Amino acid sequence: MTKTEFEPAIPSRPSYGVLSPGIGSAHLFVADGEGADAVCDLLSAADGLKAASHIIYVPGANGCDKSTALQALGVAQFHRSPSFAAALPRLTKVLADAHMGLQIYTAGTEGLMAQVAAAAQAAGLPYEAVQMEHRGSLARRVQCVHCKGVTENVTLDPFQCSHCGLSLFVRDHFSRRLAAFQGVCIDAEDPGQIPASVERFK
């Protein structure tokens, strides 16, 4: 079961488990922020995997950087990237060169995990093939359904779209394809009637 407590939500909202060692020829880990802890937990208990493991790590938006601990694991490859966007070309290349038997693990924030799962699906893998464990912040990656712009690390609801400026209500409706929750204009019917923002996602 997940180590993060989630509020009750609609059934389609993604849920997460705990990473466990898979059987395979190679092991790819992609984590951000506190997700490093999940990777350390798994690899500390599964020493045999390290020689065939590749870790891609993005420090958290909250400043959490556990690169040192990950590097100390002694895996075959460790790569630290300043952002997921910067890591994506590497991830895409790793997936393009890989063979069936590769095990994929992702840990950290929902936005990161969903983007990893989307990249794996684009590479032809089933959604279920990616193990996910939530760690750290519950801040959301949100797509504005009006301008299609994505705002990262949304903690407030409603919040102002960083692209078009509309005030958006953050739904639990999650798009796996876009790896984002959906934000909908909150005052479309009554322009200007915008409730005060609340910090819903920490």
In the bound state with another protein, the residue whose beta carbon lies nearer, of 103 and 109, is: 103
Residue 20 found at the interface with another protein (CB under 8 A): no
Phi, psi dihedral angles at 85 (to 5 degrees): -60, -40
Each residue 70-109 as x (binds another protein by CB under 8 A) or -, in order, gives -------------------------xx-xxxxxx------
Q: Do 173 and 182 touch, CB atoms closer than 8 A?
A: yes
At its nearest, how many Å lie between another protein and the CB of residue 106?
15
List 11, 63, 124, 192, residue binding another protein (CB under 8 A)? 124
CB proximity list for 9: less than 8 A, separation 6 or greater: 172
Candidate ranges 42-50, 59-67, 124-132, 190-198; the one touching another protein (CB under 8 A): 124-132
Residue 21 found at the interface with another protein (CB under 8 A): no
Q: What is the rounded CA–CA span in Å between residue 106 and residue 114?
A: 9
At its nearest, how many Å lie between another protein and the CB of residue 127?
8
Element (H, E) at 160: strand 159-160
Identify the burial level of 163 via C-beta atoms within 10 angstroms of its C-beta, where 0-12 means exposed, 13-18 middle and 19 or more buried. Answer: middle
Residue 178 found at the interface with another protein (CB under 8 A): no
